[in-house]
Structure 1
Amino acid sequence: MSESRTGAKVERLPLARYTTLGVGGESEVWFVSTHEQLAEAMEQPYRILGGGSNLVISDEGVPERVIRLSGPFAERDLEPDPTLSGDTEIVTGWVGGGVPLPGLVRALQKLGLSNLEGTVGIPGQVGGSVWMNAGTRFGEMFDGLHTIEIATPDGVKQVTPADLNWGYRNSGIPRNHIVTRVRLKLKRGTPGEVQARMDAADHARKGQPKNKTPGCAFKNPTLPGGQKVSAGLLIDQAGLKGTRVGNAMIAPEHANFIVNLGGATAADVHALLEVIREKVGVPMELEYELWPERPELSQAQTAELR
């Protein structure tokens, strides 16, 4: 391990250890804990790696620097800001982009603070979860955001959700921008009330696989006429549950999940995505991030319905 001129820790490491799928080759990783270190890391081509969910990294790794938020960027202040909080709603102090989302959701439940319980079970970090507006049908990250601090190639800025063109699995934040911190906007309640809503969301996830997985593979597509349909249902109807390439498999429990049975490679996962593209006749957009990008797998296809 070495240090950059601003004190960032730099080391070549296998990225598989930082992903929920458990695949990814070796790359140069920068551990940054200050805005100065982050600005230095962003001087050359870079990628930001948070909790490693929703991500499939090439077996060869990536040529760019890989940035990990650490130190103060991985800390949280959940105390209400008295100048912004009221009787029924609070605005917290800053929560770092490197804070694990599951631990944050549990901490909010113990405090009886609501708005993010719909994200229960999502394994990412706050920054990445905000960047893609992660969520479930019970809620999403933008339900609980007041202010977002973003590092850009031109400096650091603060925005509100109203400043962004956000929507389903999309924050409107450009790809080369990094969510460093957020302030949360939360409703006051009781721990029991928040737990009940978390239990409802968690119950709906019981059919999801327990093996290593990036999460849902495809976004739910919209059919001609405006009807949104389950991607998992379409893959299931194509008879693909349990399909296996190498040690990667389309999960028998839920067809919109690809799992690592142990020793899977990114190439195995890419091959399964191609199988799904071939067999499912509905244009679908990949929910995973692929490093490096593969547009032929990521973008919604234009095939007609079969």
Structure 2
Amino acid sequence: MTLSAPPLKVERLALSRFTTLGVGGEAEVWTVHDHAQLAAAMQAPYRVLGGGSNLVISDDGVPERVIRLAGEFAVRDLERDASLSSEREYVTGWIGGGAPLPGLVRELARRGLSGLEGTVGIPAQVGGAVWMNAGTRYGEMFDALYSLEIATPGGVRVVTPNDLEHGYRKSGIGRDEIVTRVRLRLGSSTPEEVTARMTFADEARKGQPKMKTPGCAFKNPGGVSAGKLIDEAGLKGYRIGNAMISLEHANFIVNLGGARAADVLAILEHVRSIVGVPLELEYELWP
């Protein structure tokens, strides 16, 4: 027997509660559990909010409705799809875009499935991580993608990574498009080997701050470390209000408690005015 989806939930909420930075004003939040509810939510201007990392939301919130994926969009089918897999490749069933990435990575390690070790520690949902091709120098989301289901106001389509112009921190997926589900292409390994690779990648992140932060502020320009450029400019510890450039890693801005989005944006502009190299934001700014 197929159970019906929970009812669509629409609430006016502070978006700060959904972000790793902990800032952001209010918006109308639509929590959708299936494709029918998602289609209804997409009939007016909208934004999609996943794990809330890599995101700075205005203190005034946003005027659009904000969609959050739940229900069937948070389900993980990690069983091997025999019709798509080969002797060397393990292709999963569908994994919801609203599924938390950290839990997925841990479960893949437990099963001895290799491909996403380089994304360890990224506090995102699967759909958002794919949308920005999140990753580290040890790997990114597109390394393990087999296919993607993408929703737009006009309908749903399935594509492969080869259909998208993806690259460093970009997926080629449009701003009005929502990654609802993905299939992964993985390699068979052992839990011990996958865990060892995850541990190695995680060790390289030891210098990153553990406070409230959206993650890296700027993309590395031309292969040069943005954090190194900011550090060399003497900006570690630079503070506006309760937002500060981390003392641990200069490419991170942290919330000391009660910071505002306006404080973060002012720091970003100050960094750009001081560092002698054009810096492209890695953060997504709303609005």
Identify the TM-score tier after normalising by the shorter chain.
over 0.9
Of 210, 217, 235 in structure 2, the residue corresponding to residue 240 of structure 1 is 235
Distance 2:76 2:240 in 1: 41
Give the letter aligned to residue 260 of structure 1: N
Cα distance in 2 for residues equivalent to 1:69 and 1:153: 15
Name the aligned partner's letter for residue 269 of structure 1. Answer: V
In structure 2, the gaps of 5 or more residues are 1-5
Which residue number in structure 2 is paired with residue 288 of structure 1?
Answer: 283
Which residue is equivalent to 2:3? none
- What SS does the corresponding residue of 1:13 show, helix, strand or coil? strand
SS in 2 for 1:20: coil
Residue identity opposite 2:67 in structure 1: I
| Unmatched segments (≥5 aa) in structure 1 | 1-5, 223-227, 293-306
Deviates more, 1:79-88 or 1:57-66: 79-88
Alignment partner, residue 75 of structure 1? 75
Q: Distance in 1 between matches of 2:25 and 2:153?
A: 26
Q: How does 1:191-270 map to 2 (within 5 A)?
A: 191-222=191-222, 228-270=223-265
State the partner residue of 1:112.
Answer: 112
Partners of 2:147 and 2:274 in 1: how far apart? 43
What percent identity do the matched residue pairs reach? 73
* Alignment match, 1:94: 94
User: Any residues of structure 2 matched to 1:133-148 within 5 Å, and which?
Assistant: 133-148=133-148
SS of residue matched to 2:156: strand
Structure with higher RCO (Cα < 8 A, 6+ apart): 2
What's the TM-score once normalised by structure 2's chain length? 0.97
Measure the CA separation in 2 of the matches of 1:239 and 1:79: 50
Separation in 2, partners of 1:87, 1:260: 48
Query: 2:28 & 2:107 partners in 1: Cα distance?
Result: 33
Query: What do the CA deviations read for 1:73-114 (whole angstroms, capped 9, x no partner)?
Result: 011010000111123311001100000000000000000000
The count of aligned residue pairs is 282
Question: Counterpart of 1:275?
Answer: 270
- What is the CA deviation profile of residues 85-144 of structure 1, one whole-angstrom value per residue up to 9, with x for unaligned ones? 123311001100000000000000000000100000100000000000000000000011
| 4+ aligned runs moved over 3 Å, structure 1 | none
What secondary structure is seen at the aligned counterpart in 2 of 1:31?
strand
Query: What pairs up with 1:47-62 in 2 under 5 angstroms?
Result: 47-62=47-62
Q: Secondary structure at the match of 1:93?
A: coil
Equivalent position amino acid for 2:284 in 1: E
Counterpart Cα distance in 2 of 1:7 and 1:99: 19
Other-structure match for 1:176: 176
Q: Secondary structure at the match of 2:157?
A: strand
Q: What whole-Å deviation, never above 9, does each CA across 1:174-216 have from its counterpart, x for those lacking one?
A: 1110000000100000001101110110000000001000000
Name the Cα RMSD after superposition.
0.9
